[in-house]
Every structure is written in structure tokens, then in C-alpha cells.
Structure 1
Amino acid sequence: MSIRIDALMAQMTVEEKVGQLNVTADMVRPFAPDINPVANEQNADQVLQLIRDGKVGSLFNGKGKHGAVELQRVAVKESRLGIPVILAADVIHGMSTVFPIPLGETASFEPDLARRTARATAVEATAQAIHWTYAPAIDVTRDQRWSRGAEGTGEDTLVACRFGAARVQGFQGETLTAEDALLATAKHYVAYGASLAGLDYNTVDIAPQTLRDVHLPPFQAAVNAGVASVMSSFNDINGVPASANKPLLVDVLRGEWKFNGITISDYTSEMELVAHGYAEDMKDAVLKAFMAGLDLSLQSGLYLEHLPALVKEGQVPMWRLDQAVRRMLELKERIGLLDDPYRSLRMQDITAEQLEQHEDLARESAKRSIVMLKNESRVLPLKKSGQRIAVIGPFGRDRDNIEGCWTLFGDASRYVSLEDGLRAAVTDESDLTFVDGCGLEEGIEGGIEAAIAAARQADVVILALGEPQRYSGEAQSRIEITLPAVQQRLADAISDAGKPVVALIRNGRALALHGGVRKADALLITWFLGSQTGHATADVLFGDYSPSGRLPVSFPQASGQQPYYYNHPRTGRPELPDIKEFKTRWREIPHEALYPFGHGLTYGDVRYNATELNADVMPRGGSICVSATVTNAGERVIEEVVQLYIHDRVASRVRPVRELKGFEKIAIEPGQSVEVSFEINESMLEFTDVDGVRRAEPGAFDVWIAPSCVAGTPGRFTLA
């Protein structure tokens, strides 16, 4: 207990206590109305008066030190108790320097890379007077129609755990009192990525065991990494909205995991309990959310409006109010704000040297995020001279769809387009021809004809296609996860021009690729790569860097496969090639991905030997070692993502066909063979059984060390 906080709370009125739980928009500075609905709108004078009255604990979506200093001055000098406010913002994947969207960066399979980009983001954000970010998103996304998968880590739980923890550590740094420490928020708690039909905000109907085994572990990993706050999600879970879900907000988060930070609603999510039909009116919504363990109200203003009366009436006991207020004050104390209200508000602007370092990191992160799915006849890498290249498609010269969703503060003057990057890479710019062919969603008169003519004059074609960036992010769910029709027509026309085609796809989710894109000689997934898009893409195209990214999501054969994920349970009538009918199949396509989770190619020739084990039996409480020799038979240095998968052959609950249990990215010289080993222990074999108990059951297990979820030669061991 803090004596200072005890003294503060002893002086506070009920209204001032409730004020600490109110998070409101800072109208002194713009707060991005394009990405949030208008709610509880107030002008700057009203916000300042609320601060004077001690009725604001935190303000969000601000930018700029001058306004922040004035807000803090009012809080410290003009409010009765002088309690400083925390300044927050949605800083998701970069501040002025924009890094790849989180899903794209996850394709690197390098959690430490995510830690480093989060650290750079924290340095830039705190220099702009921001203490707290509403990131990282660690939703596991198994349906690619859902648009917010771009903010997360894909379809695998282990990957979400590792990247979530890394981003928390990067944002928050080594000590929370450092001026460049940025408080992190694990979101969206929980199972938001499991919304039915991939429809944003939709209901989640989920088995308790799946909730436990798939969607909760990333949040536990974030808590173990020291995350300062957890944000509730918009959805209900088996009929109980996440923002009023006491078993999850209290029993699991506080009881099982011993989380000691703050919980916060998503934007007006506690207000939405009424629309859910879970609360009778706004006052009832506040009562149910607050008593379920939701500490802070984001933007609705409902806590401010209704909590004092609920306390006076005895419906909310004083201990619960004091509990939430103490958590908020402890958070302010933990980051040094009570000792130094102007922490992070005096920092110097980012220097030109720092910006250069961050741009180098952005380029590194972007090139490591690119996934090469296909490279027939070794059309890649391209030549920097003596090769005529036609760059066709709306993303060739585009500068407006570089950053991806949820980027509020990026410095667009520093963005490097694909055209910029290609021109900087080639010896003679006259070897490059750029033709849009069509717009992002609309045709251009004569565009396809001009594109075909350019293709016929070239030695190789780069097709620059993809989703507009507004197709990803909040409330952008899609029915057909395909390219816009006009772009598909362009791709099909170029495919028939008879020239080698390299397709670059810019996207915020896995896509169903068809026609000319699927037929392309080479196919690269380039996501939304951020500030250094052009240079990073050129690095890969021209062979300065061998692609090392791997898919964190399965690319389906068709949109109708959704939801599709690699670690699906076995069925009683599996898809087997020697069975023609009466099996788990679609009439039109096989029950498999077009490009599976974990897949990705390099410029090397990678070969895996069979998986070997140092023992056939694992004793209870013991471990075994599995290994495989990986060889680079090519002529270039490569980086290979070596993946460990396990399958429980017989269990009391049907188990997934494979589950990722480990991964490591290694560099391999030409002609070199490397032995890669993983240790498997009993905890890696555990799952939640029919009684809700997490345990490992004795029996046989298959194990693979492989380059993807469908590759490799398995070994087998038994848990005694």
C-alpha cells in the first residue's frame, strides 16, 4: 500500500474518485473521428473544466507537447487535489515512423523484431507527450473475413503469445518510470477474433475449452510480461458481454493470473450493454460493467454520470469504487506521474539521427515481413540492369495505401512508395515502366489495353495489386476475401500477355487468390509495410535480401472456406486422397489451404531430414529432445523458419491435426547443414479436458520439425 495514495483517497469526494475512472477524448487536439464513432462529444472548454473539477483521470488520442503541457498544468495547478492525468492514444504500429501492420510483422516469425519496433514506437510516442497506448491487439483470428485481424498476430495461439509478450516488453521498456516507457494495453479481452461469420462486433459462441486453450493464453502471456492494462472487447461470449463478464474480468484475470493493472472498456463498450439487451438502461449498464470488474470507462462518460448515484444508493459498495480508484492511482505512481506530472512532456523532439535509425528498422522489419509464396522458374530475383520491367497495377505508384489501418500519426512526407523504391534500386530508371491499368476499385478508360501493351514491351511484369487499406481495421468485415473485381480483370489480362509475371499483393488479411494472380510465376505477400514499403520490397525483388517471412494465416482456396485454420480438429471422416466421397470436403475444392500456415520460400534450396527423437518415451514431469537437420543446398545465404508441430493421437477430447509448439529462425550459409533441436516437456502436451481441467494425457504423439504445417516427416513418442 502507498501512504501517498492512502492520503489522496482520504481527501477525495465520491465524484473525484469517479473522475479518476473517466477516460475522455482530448478535444484540445484532434482525436481522429474517422476511426471512432461520435459519442459524448465535448469541446475544449468543457474538457478543461472537467479536469479542473477532478473529473478526468486520462485523456486519449492527443498529439503534441504544447497542448499536453497545458492540460497537465490545469490538472496539477487548478484542480483541488492536483492529480495529474495520463495521456493516451491509439499508437498501434508506429508513430511518425510507420512499421508493418502487426499481422504483417508477425510473418517475420521474429518476436524480438516486434519488441524492437514497439520500442522505437514508444520512443517516438512519448516524445509527443503520450504515456499510454491501446496496443497490442493479440486476438487469435481464425476467420479472415474479420477485418481486425490486421491488428493482430494471425491464427495461432503460440505465435500470439510470443508476439504479444514481445510487444508489451517493447512498449513498456525496462522500467515504467523511464520517460520513454509507453504503457501497453492487451486487447481485445477476449475472443473478439472469434466473432461469428467474421462479422465485427458480432456474438461469440464458443466452447469453454476452446476459449481456454486458444483465446485466453495470449492474454496470460501479456500479463506475465507485465502489461499495465487490459481492454475489454465489444463482443459477448456465450451470451455475456465481455465488458460485464465477471468470470473473465475477475475470476480469471485477477484470481488465476494475479493481474494487478487496470481494466478499461473499449470505446463506449460498457454503454453498448443496453444495445446487447444485457442492461435495462445506461445506469444499469454502469452497474453491471463496474461490478463485473471493469475499472475505467472509455469515452462514454457514463461512469461520471451514474456511478456517484449508484454509490449513494448502495448498489455499488465503496470498497469496489476504492479498489478501482486505487488501481488507477497506483498506475500513475508506477510510471512516476505522481512524482513528476510532466514526465514525457519535456522530452526533446526525435533527432534526425533517431529518425534515420527508426527508418532503418522500418526497412528491416518490412523486408523481413514479406512472404514469397511462389517462385517458378526462378523468375526472382530480378536484375538491376539490362531487364525491362513493367510495373502494372494501382499500387505501383500509390502513396495513399502504404501505412495500413490504425495509423494516426504517420509522417507521410517520409513514406517510400513502390515506385520510389524500384527507381532507387535499378541502375537505369528507363528500364522501368509504370502503368496503373486500373484504380483500386474502379476502371480506367483504356487502362487494361495500356497495361497489356506495356507488358508486351517488357522482359518481366510486376503486378502491384491488393486491398485498399480501408478494407482492414474496425468495421470492415468482408464477404468475399478476394481482390477488387477490376484488379482481378487486370491480373487475368496480364496473365495472358505471355510474359513472366511477379505478383505483389498488398493486404491486411489472408486472401483467396484466383486467376492471373494464382497463375503468376512468382507471388509475394507484402501486406501494408509502412514507411519503408518501397525500399524493403525492392530489397527482396532484386535479391539484396532473401525473403524469410512465413504465413501467420492460412490462405484459402476460396472465400467460402472461412473460417479456415490449420490446427482444426480431426473429423470422423477426414479428407484422404484415396477416399472419393463421404469425407470432410467441399464439392468444388479440397479441404486444404491454397498456401498453408507457416509456408514461405527463400532464394535458397532448403531440405529437411526426418525428425529424430532422443527417446521414445517421455516420463511424467520429464522431457525429450527432437531434432532435424536442415540444409541449404542453394547458392545464397538464407534465413529459414524452422517449426515444431505436435499431434496428440488419442485423447479424451478430439485434438487438432497439428499444433505449433515452437519455432526458430536460423541463418544458413550456402551448402551448410544445421541441426535444429527443440525440447518438448509435459506442459506443451496439455489441453483443457471435458471437465475443464488442463492436463496432459498419456499416450502416443506425432511430432514434426518442418517448414510449414503440412510438411515434414514425423517422429513418434509416448507420454508414460
Structure 2
Amino acid sequence: MNRILLLMVAVATAAGLGAQKPVAQPANKMTAFVNALMAKMTVDEKIGQLNLLNPGGGVATGAVVSSGVESKIKSGGVGALFGIIGVDKIRQAQQLAVSSSRLKIPMIFGSDVIHGYKTTFPVPLALSCSWDLAMIERSARLAAEEATADGLSWVYSPMVDIARDPRWGRVVEGAGEDTYLGSKIAAAMVKGYQGNDLAANNTVMACVKHFALYGAAEAGRDYNSVDMSRLKMYETYLPPYRAAIDAGAGSVMTSFNDIDGIPASGNKWLMTDLLRKQWGFKGFVVTDYTAINEMVDHGVGDLQVASALALKAGVDMDMVGEGFLTTLKKSLQQGKVTQRQIDDGCRRVLEAKYKLGLFEDPFRYCDSSRTQREVLSADKRTAAREFGARSCVLLKNNNQTLPLKKSGTIALIGPLANNKSNMLGTWAVSGEPQLSVPVLDGMRSVGGSGVNILYAKGANITDDTALAKKVNVFGVRADVDSLSPDQLLTQALEVAGRADVIVAVVGEASEMSGEAASRSDISLPVNQQRLLQALAKTGKPLVVVLMNGRPLILNMEAELATSLLDVWFQGHEAGNAIADVLFGNYNPSGKLTMTFPRNVGQIPIYYNHKNTGRPQGAGPTQKFRSNYLDVSNEPLFPFGFGLSYTTFSYSEIKLNRTSMRAADQLQLRVTLSNTGQFDGEEVVQLYLHDEYASITQPVKKLKAFQKIRLQAGESKDIVFNLTVDDLKFVGSDLKPIYEPGNFTVFVGGNSRDLKQAKFVLVP
């Protein structure tokens, strides 16, 4: 046993915490341990466990930084820390807790690990477009391994908010608009982070966020109010949170919005009645950054009132705001909170530490040999490249312009074509942008010596200096070149004139999406539009590579481009992954998980809308129907859409029965054929529509999908099995029900282009 471990055992034993059984013990062992510890704790020490601080000097994730952190740790006033990373710093802070505080209680160390840790993977919205659950789970597993190798044991992920308004910047952090897919991804992420044993030194506790309904912020404006019916909550927005809880998530983070007029962090129905009583959640609840303090601006009362409201609602830990630390004891003395409520919060925090193995070994995650071996390791960079390629969505490919030949001359143009600072995307708080591979380097590496690649910047990300200042808050992401816009454009046209094909890499800066990055105009900046228009006029094939953290308005771009490839933000291996797709080393297989509108006036727009009593049918626009005078109801690109370098065809649907009873299983079979010249993958999507129901139903709902790989010329029978559970919907009592009647089942490669068949559920 090494000297550090001997010291830890001695410290724990002196505090009455040593000689404990292994952490993976039945719940009664944990309960006995926590009971014994809490019997020794003062009220102040119990409240201290409810306090999460950010000492500053590390990663920037909010506007407030805690003060006097060291003295608060020594006095037992801190339960957890975030904002510091690295084994040495975390070990130093943990040493304060386990050697200088009275009861030597270890702290939890957390961070925003959203899409990879130091090795940055594609943003979550991009990962969701892979429709590859095993890959998504693996991305979380690798992130957990790397984060724990650097001292962390708690990650503020996954973000599972359903989002149908692309003006909201945080759509980039989630899985898009669909409840079924979002639920599957939520569970996969939790399993990837937490593994089979939370006490293992390479797993982390997941924190599901933002509870709840944050993705429906009014007007797409961050931190804004949310107002919806309970029916919509249960049918559409709540299931991904429930899926994450059912997958075993250890913690939950509150959202900033109000629900039924009560801020989420003070909403007892949400935190206690729903989360704990209905869903059986046993973990702990932490607020988002200073969310308790922000309830004051919501109008609930002063900080003492807000803090008491949050505790009574079921919040266990206060992030940064210190409302619990500074007011709960006074509220207890005044009878505004109870000792039981404080004890319940403290118990749940201590149980989390027990599950993580921190009482057995406070330095379980502080192994510097793992840091050297696993952080930014080659296998994680390789994975990042694979994840990036599999997240790309091909939206257009006229004349088989893609894949590019590894010969001839390519003009690589655009503000994001040779730009390291934006490759990681938003909320990559631990990632180093300068370690990323820009597109230019990736193209030269993958293209090889046979292809001549000429580069010109062509335009700034934006010429609007006021906008650039806003998006440069975490460093320069939108630089304004010393050359004038006209000079940049002239250089681009000169390069384009010498090329066989043009690849234009355009889009948002990484911080034009994400938290506090809502946009009312989600089109490309006008100077980038001008660049594309000029390049299109050359008559050369124009491949537009789009980097973005949300659906954008792309009517003009889709018209001008010969090929259009949405690559989102791919992380450290962006340039290599994008080049793999452009040159055909990987055949793109991504499918959109958010609908792309034609203009902002269509927002919110999503595939599984409900019919009105006057739906607009196919054909010309009709008067007195639900439509617009100036634009089609249809999106530019529908949910589930994505092309391939090959082509796929679907046979008609074959059902094993056209009527079924509740105890039956309906088998659906369709033949998928690769009718093109390339091997490729297709996401086969199954949707369902309940034609008549006591609660109005969407025009279709995703109910299943399979990702299938076929060689060129190969065919395969795809089988889906449906049960009565797939036919259920949320009834007026907010419980799942099914009703006999007529159903339509759809199968195809996106939510628009589908084969269909009908069946009846008989009484």
C-alpha cells in the first residue's frame, strides 16, 4: 500500500469513516454508513454539503465565481466543486476537505463534459444525426474514461431537452426534436457515462439536464418562460428525462425556466411529485448556475425565500449561488424549512459520494499515470474522427459532384476552411482549439499528393463587429481580417478561377450557437451569402460545407450549391473527418434530427405536428386552409432526411396481419436495396399514425429505426415487430392508453418520403 493510500486510510479512520466495506454494497450498508456520519454532523456541516462552488481560474461556464473557497472547504461548507480540472488541482482541493475539515468528508468534482472532455467529439446535435446508439454510448464512455483520468467524477450531461425552435442556441447540446429518438439517446448517454459500476475509477455520475421543458423556451430566447399543457409535457417533452432516470442517472439538474408559473428550481410538483414519487428517482438534484438566486428576478421573493422554496421543492445542491449556505440556517430557526428537509438533501449528496467510492478512497480519480496514458490519447483522436464522419448529413449532391476525385485542382475557400478556433463547437470547456485539425490540413492529408488544393479565406465569418464582439466572449471565434471584404472576395475568385471544383466552408462561429446564443435571424451572415453568390457565378461545381450548431435558413444556399454537406461542429478531428467524407473514404449516412425551416416565420416547425380541422392538402394552396400566403407549409429539409453517395430503394410494406389484438405482435417487413455504385448505410425509419383517437394525434410519430449497411447491389429484408405498447398514447389522465381502431404505418428513409400500409387494432 503506497504512502498516499496509507495516509487516506488514517485520515478516514480518524474521522470514523475508515475500514468501510467495498462501495458496491446493498443499500442498507450505504444507509447505515450515511446515518452514522450524519449523526456526527452539525446543521452547518449538513448545509455545507448542499453547496456547490466554482473557485474560478479554470473553465468558464458562468458569470459568477465563488470567493473564500479554501476557508469554506476547511469549515465543512462545501459539498462539491466544479470549474477546476486536472489531477494535481483536484488532489490539492480534496486534500483540504479530507485533512482540514472536522469530519473529513470528501468533495465531488464535476465539469461540463458535453461532447468529449479534452478530446472533443462532434457536438451532441451532430452525434444525434448518426442515429447510431452504440456509437453515441461509446462517445460518452470514452469521455468518462478521459475525464476520470483527469480527476473528475461527475459530468453535467446529457442534455435531453426536446427542442423545436432553432432560434434557441442550446439546440446544439441536445438530440433534436423527436421524443422517441431523444429518449433512446438519453439512455445511451447515461449508460456510457456511468457504465455498470459507479465506484469504478473510469466511470462518472451523469447529470441529466435541464429539468424540465427548457427546450420550449418562448421565442427561442434563452432562459425565457415556458408554458404548455400537462398533456404536451407527458407526451412530448418529459419522456427523454424519464428514459435517463430509468437508465440509472445519478443526478438531475434543474432548468432556468418556469413551469406552470413556478420556476423549475422551486417547483415541488416537478422535483418531488413527478421526479421522486412518480418516477422513483433516488439520486440528488442540483440547480443550474445561480438558478436559486435568479428566482428573485422571477418574482418569488428575496434570496432567503427563494432558497427555502428550492429546498422544500426537492433541490439538494445549490450551484454557486450560496443561497442555501447563507440563508437555510436562518430559515430553519424561523420555521420556514424543517430539519428533515435539510437532512434529506444532505443524505442524497452523501449517498452520491458513497456510490462514487469517495469515502473508500477520496483520491480514487486522482491517478496521474492514467492522465498521461488516457488524456488526448491516440485512440480517442481516432474515435473523434470516426464520430465526425458518421455525423455528417448530405443534403444535396447534384451530378454526383461528391465524392471528390483525389486528382486535379480544388479551390478550398471560406472563413471556416483554415480555422482551428471554431472546430470544437460550443461548450467544449476543456478542449484546446489549437489542437484541432482544420479542413485545409485534413483535405491535404486525405487527398494526398495527386490533388492540388488552393486556399483563400474569401470572407470573414461576419463583417458585423458588434456581433463578432458578442461571439468572442471565450476567445476570438469571429476574427475580422485586415483585408477589406472586397479584397478577400477578389482573392477567392482568383483561386476559384484556377480550380476544377470549389469547396466553400461556411457557417456559424462556434459561439453563435450554444448557451446565451439565441438568434432571431438564423440565416448565414450576409457577407458569407455574398461569397457563395460570387462563387456560384463562376460556373464551377460548388460544394458547400456547412458548419453550424442549429438548423439554418438555407434557401439560397441550397439553390446555388451543386452539393451541400452539413458537418455541424466536429471537434478536434474535424478536418480529417470532413475530408474523409468529401473524398469518399466514408460514405455519409447521417440523417437530420431537426427540421430545417424555409424561413423563421415557419418556426416552430417539426415533423410530428397535429392536423387542424382545415389541413392544407397536397397541391396548390387553398383558401380557408391552414397555410401561409407567402411560403409553403413544408420545410426545406424534413426530419430524418439525409442523402448518400449511393441510392436506396424500398419495396412495398408487407404485414403478417392486417388486424391485431392487444396480445398480438404485428410483423412488418420491407426489402431495402442498395441500387447505387457505393457501399453505404441507410437509417430505415418506421412511423405510426393513429387515425382516430380520443386525444388528437400527430400526423406521424417515430416508433422504431434500424441503421443498415449494404454493399452496392445488395438487398436485405428489414423486419420490425410492433406490439400494443407501440400504439399507446398519453390519455387525458396523463397515463398511457391504447384504443382500438385504424392505424397507418410508414417506412422510409426520412419522415416525408415513405411507403405505407394500414392495419386495425380490434377490441
After TM superposition, the score normalised by the length of structure 2 is 0.91
Q: Distance in 1 between matches of 2:506 and 2:59?
A: 31
8 Å CA contact 1:501, 1:521 repeated in 2: yes
1:320-719 matched pairs, under 5 angstroms: 320-348=341-369, 349-351=371-373, 355-385=377-407, 387-428=408-449, 431-442=452-463, 444-578=485-619, 580-719=622-761
Deviates more, 1:140-149 or 1:342-351: 342-351
- Of the three residues 298, 306, 314, the one matched with 1:285 is 306
Give the deviation of 1:142 after TM superposition: 0.4
Q: Distance in 2 between matches of 1:609 and 1:370?
A: 26
Give the deviation of 1:688 after TM superposition: 1.7
SS at match of 1:373: strand
Q: Distance in 2 between matches of 1:398 and 1:118?
A: 26
- Of the three residues 37, 42, 46, the one matched with 1:8 is 37
1:141-290 matched pairs, under 5 angstroms: 141-277=163-299, 279-290=300-311
- Of the three residues 72, 80, 85, the one matched with 1:63 is 85
Q: Distance in 1 between matches of 2:544 and 2:614?
A: 37
Q: Distance in 1 between matches of 2:581 and 2:414?
A: 19
8 Å CA contact 1:62, 1:130 repeated in 2: no
Deviates more, 1:423-432 or 1:117-126: 423-432
- Taking a change above 3 Å as real, the CA distance of residues 521 and 31 of structure 1, as seen in their structure-2 partners, is closer
8 Å CA contact 1:97, 1:410 repeated in 2: yes
Deviations 1:616-669 (A, max 9, x none): 112124321112110001121101100010011111222111111111111111
Deviations 1:240-286 (A, max 9, x none): 11111111111111111111000010001111111111x21110001
8 Å CA contact 1:491, 1:517 repeated in 2: no
Structure 2 residue aligned with 1:48: 70
SS at match of 1:446: helix
Give the deviation of 1:427 after TM superposition: 3.0
Q: Distance in 1 between matches of 2:704 and 2:671?
A: 16
Give the deviation of 1:449 after TM superposition: 2.4
Letter in 2 for 1:604: T
Structure 1 residue aligned with 2:97: 75
Deviates more, 1:454-463 or 1:643-652: 454-463
Q: Distance in 2 between matches of 1:688 and 1:54?
A: 46
Give the deviation of 1:287 after TM superposition: 1.0
Give the deviation of 1:503 after TM superposition: 0.6
- Of the three residues 327, 334, 340, the one matched with 1:306 is 327
- Of the three residues 45, 58, 74, the one matched with 1:30 is 58
Q: Distance in 2 between matches of 1:16 and 1:479?
A: 46
Q: Distance in 1 between matches of 2:235 and 2:689?
A: 15
Give the deviation of 1:394 after TM superposition: 0.6
Q: Distance in 1 between matches of 2:434 and 2:336?
A: 54
Deviations 1:314-339 (A, max 9, x none): 22111111111111111100111011
8 Å CA contact 2:681, 2:710 repeated in 1: yes
Percent identity of paired positions between Structure 1 and Structure 2: 40
Give the deviation of 1:421 after TM superposition: 0.3
Give the deviation of 1:698 after TM superposition: 1.5
Whether 1:93 aligns to 2:115 is yes
User: What CA RMSD, in Å, does the superposition of the two structures yield over aligned residues?
Assistant: 1.4
Q: Distance in 1 between matches of 2:444 and 2:692?
A: 57
Q: Distance in 2 between matches of 1:445 and 1:71?
A: 53
Q: Distance in 1 between matches of 2:631 and 2:79?
A: 55
Q: Distance in 1 between matches of 2:514 and 2:240?
A: 20
After TM superposition, the score normalised by the length of structure 1 is 0.97
SS at match of 1:187: strand
- Taking a change above 3 Å as real, the CA distance of residues 716 and 176 of structure 1, as seen in their structure-2 partners, is same
Q: Distance in 1 between matches of 2:239 and 2:538?
A: 49
Deviations 1:406-433 (A, max 9, x none): 0111133431110010010223376111
Q: Distance in 2 between matches of 1:596 and 1:454?
A: 35
Structure 1 residue aligned with 2:475: none
Letter in 2 for 1:436: K
Q: Distance in 1 between matches of 2:433 and 2:504?
A: 24
Letter in 2 for 1:4: F
SS at match of 1:17: helix
Deviations 1:422-472 (A, max 9, x none): 010223376111111111002623222222232222111111100111111
8 Å CA contact 1:627, 1:705 repeated in 2: no
Letter in 1 for 2:677: E
Q: Distance in 2 between matches of 1:246 and 1:148?
A: 25
Q: Distance in 2 between matches of 1:202 and 1:429?
A: 53
Q: Distance in 2 between matches of 1:561 and 1:449?
A: 36
Q: Distance in 2 between matches of 1:172 and 1:155?
A: 25
8 Å CA contact 1:610, 1:628 repeated in 2: yes
SS at match of 2:205: coil
Letter in 1 for 2:665: S
8 Å CA contact 1:124, 1:350 repeated in 2: no
Consecutive unaligned residues of structure 1, counting only runs of 5 or more, are: none
Deviates more, 1:88-97 or 1:429-438: 429-438
Q: Distance in 2 between matches of 1:246 and 1:229?
A: 17
Letter in 2 for 1:24: L
SS at match of 1:437: coil
Q: Distance in 2 between matches of 1:303 and 1:353?
A: 36
> Number of aligned pairs?
711
SS at match of 1:294: coil
Whether 1:116 aligns to 2:138 is yes
SS at match of 2:666: strand
Letter in 2 for 1:219: Y
Letter in 2 for 1:137: M
Give the deviation of 1:347 after TM superposition: 4.3
Deviations 1:74-125 (A, max 9, x none): 1111111110001111111111110000000100001111111111111111
8 Å CA contact 2:64, 2:320 repeated in 1: no
8 Å CA contact 2:555, 2:636 repeated in 1: no
SS at match of 1:716: strand
Letter in 1 for 2:658: D
SS at match of 1:453: helix
Give the deviation of 1:514 after TM superposition: 2.9
Letter in 2 for 1:267: Y
Letter in 1 for 2:34: I
Structure 2 residue aligned with 1:19: 48
Give the deviation of 1:693 after TM superposition: 3.1
